[in-house]
Amino acid sequence: MPPPSQQVIALRGSATAIADYLRYAIYSCVQSIRTSRTMGLGSVYAIEDFMVVNKFDLELLIATNEELETYVSSVLSQVEQWLMSQTINQVVLVIVSKETKQTLERWVFDVKAVEPPPGAAPKPDSEVQEEVRSMLAGIRGTNSMLSDIQEPALCNILAYVKDDGHQDSTADGWEDTHTHAIEMDSATEVKLKKASTSVHQIQATVVYRDD
């Protein structure tokens, strides 16, 4: 087993890598508006509020809108802390009809800690990057199959954390909220590929209305 200092370094590096992946995943999901549908959390944003960057050998969007980027950075900063403490189970991005409050799409990122076999070498960064690239490509491919949302819509980010009775699972700016679940008799679920570091595994799933 690696010494404690190396374990902390591996955990911190994994938490940072997963949070970085989630940033691009969130913007890739939000990009499901496909130019006319691009929106941010809490309000609607224009495509001009984003720019294209090359990351993971893919052309991906990141926000140039300061308000949106500040919000997402704040969210992911807390998510990274939960990853470090290994107390987070899920990060969920929901796209909700502004008028009816009906959930239109629900992107779920399941997170779990992994225990490498004793004496196992750290997972190579190149292998992690390839898995992340594959997941992000899967999100983009799934977006291309979804119908355009033809109504005003909002986004929100939810986090599911463990409550073991020994610590407060809430954080500043976070509060209990609606799950925004979608009835499966009127929805389709698509599971995407997994990605993992030496410490964490993440699995993306989207549920979208098809009625």
What beta strand segments (E) does 74-150 contain? 88-97, 103-113
Helix, strand, coil % in the chain, rounded to nearest 5: 35, 30, 35
Q: What is the pLDDT of residue 201?
A: 94
162: its two tokens: 């463990």
Strands of the sheet containing 103-113, edge to edge, are: 153-161, 88-97, 103-113, 200-209, 187-196
Element (H, E) at 55: strand 50-55
Q: What is the pLDDT of residue 168?
A: 47
Q: What is the pLDDT of residue 172?
A: 62
Q: What is the pLDDT of residue 98?
A: 84
Q: What is the pLDDT of residue 167?
A: 46
Kindly give the confidence (pLDDT) of every residue in the chain, 211 residues in length, as a single tens digit, with 9 standing for 90 and above: 454 445 655 788 899 999 999 999 988 887 544 433 334 454 556 677 788 999 989 988 888 888 888 888 999 999 999 999 999 999 999 988 888 989 999 999 999 988 877 777 888 889 999 999 999 999 988 887 887 777 778 888 999 998 754 444 456 667 777 888 898 888 899 999 899 998 999 999 999 988 7
β-strand partners of 107? 93, 206
Taking each helix axis from N to C end, the angle separating 66-85 and 4-30, rounded to the nearest 10 degrees, works out to 140
* CB neighbourhood size of 103 (10 A): 22
The CA distance from 11 to 62, in Å, is 25
Taking each helix axis from N to C end, the angle separating 125-145 and 4-30, rounded to the nearest 10 degrees, works out to 20
The CA distance from 185 to 166, in Å, is 38
pTM value is 0.85
The CA distance from 23 to 14, in Å, is 14
Q: What is the pLDDT of residue 40?
A: 43
